[in-house]
Chain A
């Protein structure tokens, strides 16, 4: 009887089902590993710049480049702008993303300076929502060790980080507050905000 499944096909279905179930688990473990390697590699690059003995200005330029290479800046830019992104023209959006890239890399790249004389260790990584959280401990000169987390995703097509949580403080939440406050101060004038963003950070 065709409707009566043979033992073989049941086994086959069960096995393939098991394979389907096993696949995400393996893929997840792999990605958690890749996510922490991404952060480790970011940390190593920062440390290399610090060890280079360059001038501070030279280091800042390097830190900005590292930030841009490892972060999904367009996604961060759009998310922190919020609903205003929907009513902006595509020309405005591309000008905004460009200005935001400079702003955020200056603002947080500069912070990498505090890594001088310190080190960052990856201690754990886990899958959370649709992304990965890489937990590090930053031991910086003259400061108590602090908790620094990177949120990593490959949804952009590339494995990149899109958020940092510094002792519980959410970078994206802080930047949403900042960008939306800038826009409010200029009565929603997007072009003016973009101009000012070019000089901020």
Chain B
């Protein structure tokens, strides 16, 4: 899993809609194979591009920025980005019928936007409103869509047809973007880029291990993304658990 999946997509409205409709229909059939990767050859090329981009730009920038920026500032950036995304979590919570999560996020947004000084601090967690992160990919999962094919997207990294469509929809329908004026939009984008760079630093060892310390980083990233995503969606994977005492030589 890479840390790149938080940079918003800047696609035109039309392309986004056409794409998401296409993807929505494509992933209507649930697929339970964990390595549904028919475009592996193309995915591997994009993955290699992302890896070179990481090596040349994202990792070095992350190390410098992470080292120079004091921890409280990094935490503040992280809090602000999550706070700006919270209205989107509310919308998705409602679409999923998870009212408790949606209302918790409403209170959270109210508290952190005011007491938390525009979201820099996170008093809401202490008040009993922890972050309930979600996205439109999860909403589609709740509606019954399977993950579709595994994809690797330039800069953004590993995803699936469903999750990429979700990202497009989230970017287009993010309520925050509708209420933020044009000059503030750059600040929002800047915060998101900073958060991505800091994430790279926060998970330096884990990401380095995955990208540069493996015989097949592509296969490792695919496995980690798909398994972790299923876990985050609350999909029970215990049927796939390995029992080495039953079948020691299995595939």
List A residues at the B interface (Cβ < 8 Å): 75-76, 78-79, 82-83, 85-86, 107, 110, 128-131, 133, 142-143, 147, 151, 153, 155-156, 162-163, 167-170, 172-174, 177-178, 181-182, 185, 200
Contact = CB atoms under 8 A, between A and B. Distances in A.
B151 to A, nearest CB: 19
Contact of B223 (A75, A174, A182, A185): A174
A78 B219 contact: no
Contacts of B243: 129-131
Interface residues of B, number: 31
B242 A79 contact: yes
Interface string B225-251: 001111110000110111111101111
Contacts of B213: 200
Most chain-A Cβ atoms within 10 A of its Cβ — which of B213, B219, B241? B241
A178 B242 contact: no
A182 B217 CA distance: 11
B248 A185 contact: no
A154 B231 CA distance: 27
A41 B232 CA distance: 28
Contacts of B205: 110
Nearest to B247: A79
Nearest to B214: A178
Nearest to A201: B213
A103 B233 CA distance: 32
B77 to A, nearest CB: 14
